[in-house]
C-alpha cells in the first residue's frame, strides 16, 4: 500500500460518486436544504403566553400583573368573536368575563369565569389553566390560599434564554448528513462488487488493506466535510469548534463502518436504499429525542449515535467541554472501532469470495 | 519447452462437496501460448482464479515465475495481466481514466494511455466514457488494461467471445504480438479454431481434470483420422462426395481407382478439429 495507490483510488471514487447523479444531487440538495431550514426557523423562543379575552367593563390594568408575567392578552370584540378565534385554532385559550365581573368581585359576590380551550389542547394543559384561574381569583379578591408554594429549577436555569428549535435540530442535521453518506458509500462499494471491478483491482499489486484504507478515507472525508460545512454555515462551530469537529470525525468513522456493513449484505442500489433507510431511521432516533425533550429513555443509550447527538447537543447548547463530553467521546470511539472492524471483516469476505 | 513460467502441481479446489478442480498438474513454458479448453462448469475459471491468486488452493500448489502464488500473490500479480471473461471496467469513467488508474496501481512510470489505446485499435477514443463503447471496444480496452504492466504472463478468459470478426482479429493479433515480445499466454476459450490458430499447446479440462494436453498437431495425430474428400460427377450427372481414409492399407489403390474410373471435380484433405477430438475424448461437446 502506498500513497500513489490510495490517491488513484480516491480520485476514481470521487469520479464515480459524482457520476451517480442521484447521490450527487441528494448530496448538494441536502446541504442547501439543511442550511435553509436552519435559517428559516426562528432563532429565539417566544416566551409569551397568548390569551384571547372578552371582558366588557373591566377597568384598565385589571390584569396588569398577568401581563407583566409574560401573558399577552388578546382582546376580542365580543363573545362570538372569542369563540370563533378558539374554534378556528387561531387561539388556544379564551377567557370570557361577564360585564359585572369586576364589580361582583369587589362586593364578594359569586362570579363565573368561562374558559374556552382549543380542541387539540392536551387535557393536562386544560387542568393547568383551570387551576391557574382559580389562583387568579384568589389573588384578585385578596384572600390568599392557605398554602405555601416553593419552586425549584432543576438543571441549568434557562429562563429567558431557552434553546431555539433550530439549535436543537443541529445534532439531527449532523446525524442525517452523516447517515445519508452511508448510502452513497455503500452504493459505490456494492456497484464495484457486482460489476467485478473490485476483482480487477485485487489482481494488481493493491492489497485488500489498501482498498479498505482508500474506501475508509473516502467515506470519512465525504461525510465529515459535509457535516462540518453545515455546522460551519449554521454557526455550529462558534463554540468549541475543535471539540465539535472531533465529534463529527468520530461520527464519520462510525457511519463508514455502517456503510461497510450495508455493502456487505446489499446486492444492488435498491437493497442499499432499503438497508440504508433502516440504518438512518434507527440512528436518527436519538436526534429526535433531543428535539422533543422528555422522550429520551435509557434504551436510547444503546444506540451509537446517541453519543454523537448528545455530545454535539451538550457542547452546542449545554456549554459542555472536553471534560464533560469525555465519556461520550470514549464510547463513540469504541462504537466506531467496533462497526469499522466488523464492517471490514464481513466485507473482506465478500471481496475475496 | 523453455523454462516454465507456470507450474501447477496437483492443484485442487472444491466448493463444499463439489470438486471444481481435481489435482491438475501441468507446466507452461515462457513465451508459450497454452489454450485451456473445456465446457462450462469444467473448472476453467476456478483454475484461473487459483493461478492468478484470487483463490487459495485447497490442495496442491501453483508456481508462477518461480514463486508460489499462495505465498507471494502480490509480487506475482505485479508481473501478470488478467483479462476477465465478464466486462469489469469503470464504465462512468473514460478509457484513459481507466487505464491511468491501473497504471498507478501497477506503479508504471511515464504511462502513455493513448499509445496503448492506439495499439488495441482504440486510438482517439481515450476521452470517451466507456459506457458508450460497443462490446468489441470494451473487450479491446480490457485487453489493453491487462497489458499495462507489460506482463510476463497474460491470462485471457474468453477474450473474443461474442465479438465481431474485426475485433476478434485485432485481439488475436495483440496476443501474437505479446507472445513475440516473450509474454506467456494462458488462453481460456470456447473457440476451437482460435485455440488451434494461436496455441502452442492445448489442455482439455473436463469435470475438473485435465484429460489431454499436447500440441494441436499431436492431438490430431493421436486422436483424429486423416482423409481425402473428393467431389465427383455420378452416373446420373449429380455431384457426389466420397471419403478415402489416409491410413488404410489400400489407400493408394483407392486413390488410383478414384482418378482412373471417376470424373473428379475437387479433392480436399480432411483432418479432425479440436472439437472432434474433445468430443472423442470426453464424450461431450464444449458448450
| CATH code of the region B6-216 | 3.40.50.300
Q: Nearest Cα to B242, choosing from B254, B253, B229?
A: B229
Q: Within the 182-221 window of chain A, which residues sit less than 8 Å (CB to CB) from chain B?
A: 195-197, 199-207
pLDDT in tens, B7-59: 999 999 999 889 999 999 999 999 999 999 988 888 999 999 999 999 999 99
Answer for the pair B14, B58: CB distance below 8 angstroms, yes or no: yes
Using CA atoms, how far apart are residues A36 and A218, in angstroms rounded to an integer? 27
**What pLDDT does A64 receive?**
73
- Chain A hits for B78, CB-CB cut-off 8 Å, are 204-205
Q: How far is B78 from chain A (nearest CA, A)?
A: 5
**What pLDDT does A100 receive?**
84
Task: Indicate the range of A161-170, A214-223, A244-253 predicted with least confidence.
Answer: A161-170
Mean pLDDT of chain A: 83
CA B47 → CA A29, A201, B83, B171, B183, distances in Å? Answer: 48, 19, 15, 23, 20
pLDDT tier, A17 (very low <50, low <70, confident <90, very high otherwise)? confident
Stretch B96-111: mean pLDDT, rounded? 96
Crossing angle of helices B95-106 and A3-19, rounded to 10°: 160
Q: Is the pLDDT of residue A153 over 50?
A: no
- Chain B hits for A20, CB-CB cut-off 8 Å, are 92
pLDDT in tens, B204-218: 999 999 999 999 999
Q: Is the pLDDT of residue A160 over 70?
A: no
Of residues A248 and A97, more confidence is placed in: A248
Stretch B127-152: mean pLDDT, rounded? 95
Using the Cβ of B204 and the Cβ atoms of chain A, whether some distance falls under 8 Å is answered with no
Using the Cβ of A8 and the Cβ atoms of chain B, whether some distance falls under 8 Å is answered with yes
Among chain B residues, CA nearest to A15? B93
| A-B C-beta contacts closer than 8 Å | 65
Q: Nearest Cα to A179, choosing from A71, A121, A265, A251?
A: A251
Of residues A263 and A50, more confidence is placed in: A263
Mean pLDDT of chain B: 91
Indicate yes or no: CB of A16 within 8 angstroms of CB of B106: no
Q: Nearest Cα to A62, choosing from A79, A75, A46?
A: A75
Stretch A169-183: mean pLDDT, rounded? 85
Indicate yes or no: CB of A16 within 8 angstroms of CB of B77: no
**What pLDDT does A174 receive?**
84
All three cell numbers of A159, joined, read 429562563
Which residue of A16, A204, A207 is in closest CB contact with B102?
A: A204
Task: Indicate the range of A32-36, A301-305, B176-180 predicted with least confidence.
Answer: A32-36
pLDDT tier, A353 (very low <50, low <70, confident <90, very high otherwise)? low
Q: How far is A200 from chain B (nearest CA, A)?
A: 7
Q: What is the pTM of this model?
A: 0.77
Q: ipTM score of the complex?
A: 0.86
Indicate yes or no: CB of B77 within 8 angstroms of CB of A205: yes
Q: Is A237 left (phi over 0), alpha (psi -120 to 50) or beta?
A: alpha
Using CA atoms, how far apart are residues B33 and B153, in angstroms rounded to an integer? 10
pLDDT tier, A102 (very low <50, low <70, confident <90, very high otherwise)? confident
Stretch A124-150: mean pLDDT, rounded? 68
Using the Cβ of B111 and the Cβ atoms of chain A, whether some distance falls under 8 Å is answered with no
Which of A9, A15, A23, A200 has the highest number of chain B CBs within 10 A, making it the mutation to test binding with B? A200
Q: Is the pLDDT of residue B1 over 60?
A: no
Q: Is the pLDDT of residue A294 over 70?
A: no
- In chain B, % of residues over pLDDT 70: 99
**What pLDDT does B22 receive?**
95
Stretch B250-279: mean pLDDT, rounded? 86
pLDDT in tens, B222-259: 887 778 888 998 878 888 888 888 878 888 898 888 88
Indicate yes or no: CB of B77 within 8 angstroms of CB of A5: no
The two beta strands, B153-157 and B80-83, are: parallel
pLDDT in tens, A31-81: 888 888 888 877 776 667 788 888 887 777 777 767 776 778 888 899 889
pLDDT tier, B2 (very low <50, low <70, confident <90, very high otherwise)? low
Using the Cβ of B186 and the Cβ atoms of chain A, whether some distance falls under 8 Å is answered with no
Stretch B105-133: mean pLDDT, rounded? 94
Name the most confidently modeled range: A171-175, A291-295, B128-132.
B128-132
Stretch A169-180: mean pLDDT, rounded? 84
Which of A204, A213, A352 has the highest number of chain B CBs within 10 A, making it the mutation to test binding with B? A204
Amino acid at each position: 500500500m502506498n500513497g500513489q495507490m490510495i490517491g488513484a483510488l480516491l480520485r476514481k471514487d470521487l469520479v464515480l460518486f459524482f457520476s451517480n447523479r442521484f447521490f450527487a444531487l441528494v448530496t448538494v440538495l441536502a446541504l442547501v436544504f439543511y442550511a435553509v431550514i436552519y435559517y428559516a426557523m426562528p432563532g429565539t423562543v417566544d416566551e409569551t403566553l397568548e390569551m384571547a379575552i372578552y371582558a366588557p367593563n373591566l377597568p384598565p390594568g385589571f390584569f396588569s400583573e398577568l401581563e407583566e408575567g409574560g401573558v399577552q392578552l388578546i382582546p376580542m370584540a365580543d363573545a362570538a368573536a372569542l369563540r370563533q378565534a378558539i374554534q378556528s385554532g387561531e387561539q388556544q385559550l379564551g377567557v370570557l368575563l361577564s360585564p359585572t365581573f369586576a364589580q361582583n368581585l369587589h362586593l364578594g359576590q359569586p362570579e363565573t369565569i368561562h374558559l374556552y380551550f382549543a380542541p387539540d389542547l392536551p387535557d393536562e394543559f386544560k387542568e393547568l389553566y383551570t387551576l391557574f384561574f382559580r389562583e387568579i381569583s384568589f389573588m384578585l379578591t385578596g384572600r390568599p390560599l392557605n398554602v405555601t408554594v416553593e419552586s425549584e429549577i432543576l438543571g441549568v436555569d434557562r429562563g429567558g434564554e431557552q434553546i431555539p428549535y433550530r439549535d436543537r435540530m443541529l445534532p439531527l442535521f449532523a446525524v442525517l448528513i452523516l447517515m445519508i453518506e452511508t448510502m452513497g458509500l455503500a452504493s459505490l462499494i456494492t456497484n464495484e462488487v457486482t460489476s467485478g471491478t473490485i476483482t480487477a483491482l485485487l489482481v494488481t499489486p493493491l492489497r485488500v488493506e489498501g482498498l479498505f484504507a482508500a474506501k475508509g478515507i473516502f467515506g470519512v472525508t465525504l461525510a465529515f466535510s459535509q457535516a462540518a460545512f453545515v455546522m460551519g454555515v449554521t454557526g455550529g462551530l462558534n463554540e468549541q469548534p475543535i471539540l465539535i469537529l472531533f465529534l463529527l470525525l468520530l461520527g464519520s468513522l462510525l457511519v463508514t463502518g455502517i456503510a461497510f456493513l450495508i455493502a456487505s449484505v446489499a446486492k444492488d442500489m435498491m437493497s442499499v436504499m432499503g438497508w440504508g433507510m433502516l440504518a438512518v431511521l434507527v440512528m436518527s432516533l436519538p436526534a429526535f429525542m433531543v428535539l422533543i425533550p422528555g422522550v429520551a429513555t435509557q434504551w436510547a443509550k444503546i444506540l451509537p449515535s446517541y453519543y454523537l447527538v448528545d455530545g454535539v447537543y451538550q457542547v452546542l447548547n449545554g456549554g459542555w467541554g472536553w471534560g464533560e463530553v469525555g465519556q461520550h467521546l470514549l464510547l463513540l470511539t469504541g462504537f466506531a472501532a467496533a462497526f469499522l472492524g466488523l464492517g471490514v471483516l464481513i466485507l473482506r469476505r465478500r471481496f475475496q469470495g | 519447452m523453455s523454462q516454465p513460467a507456470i507450474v501447477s502441481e496437483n492443484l485442487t479446489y472444491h466448493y463444499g462437496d463439489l470438486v471444481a478442480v481435481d489435482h491438475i498438474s501441468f507446466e507452461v513454458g515462457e513465451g508459450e501460448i497454452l489454450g485451456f479448453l473445456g465446457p462450462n462448469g469444467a473448472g476453467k475459471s476456478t483454475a484461473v482464479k487459483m493461478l492468478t491468486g484470487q483463490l487459495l488452493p485447497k490442495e496442491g500448489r501453483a508456481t508462477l515465475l518461480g514463486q508460489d502464488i499462495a505465498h507471494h500473490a502480490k509480487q506475482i500479480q505485479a508481473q501478470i495481466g488478467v483479462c476477465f471473461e465478464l466486462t469489469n471496467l469503470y464504465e462512468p469513467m473514460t478509457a484513459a481514466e481507466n487505464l491511468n488508474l491501473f497504471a498507478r496501481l501497477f506503479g508504471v512510470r511515464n504511462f502513455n494511455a493513448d499509445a496503448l489505446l492506439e495499439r488495441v485499435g482504440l486510438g482517439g477514443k481515450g476521452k470517451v466514457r466507456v459506457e458508450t463503447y460497443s462490446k468489441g471496444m470494451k473487450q479491446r480496452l480490457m485487453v489493453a488494461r491487462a497489458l499495462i504492466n507489460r506482463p510476463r504472463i497474460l491470462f485471457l478468459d474468453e477474450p473474443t467471445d461474442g465479438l465481431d470478426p474485426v475485433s476478434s482479429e485485432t485481439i488475436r493479433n495483440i496476443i501474437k504480438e505479446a507472445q513475440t515480445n516473450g509474454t506467456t499466454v494462458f488462453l481460456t476459450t470456447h473457440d476451437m479454431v482460435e485455440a488451434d490458430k494461436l496455441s502452442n499447446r492445448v489442455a482439455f479440462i473436463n469435470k475438473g481434470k485435465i484429460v489431454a494436453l499436447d500440441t494441436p498437431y499431436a492431438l490430431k495425430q493421436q486422436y483424429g483420422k486423416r482423409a481425402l474428400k473428393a467431389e465427383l460427377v455420378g452416373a446420373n450427372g449429380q455431384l457426389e462426395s466420397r471419403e478415402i481414409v489416409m491410413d488404410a492399407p489400400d489407400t493408394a489403390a483407392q486413390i488410383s481407382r478414384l482418378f482412373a474410373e471417376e470424373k473428379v471435380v475437387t479433392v480436399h484433405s480432411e483432418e479432425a478439429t479440436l472439437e472432434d477430438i474433445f468430443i472423442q475424448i470426453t464424450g461431450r461437446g464444449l458448450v
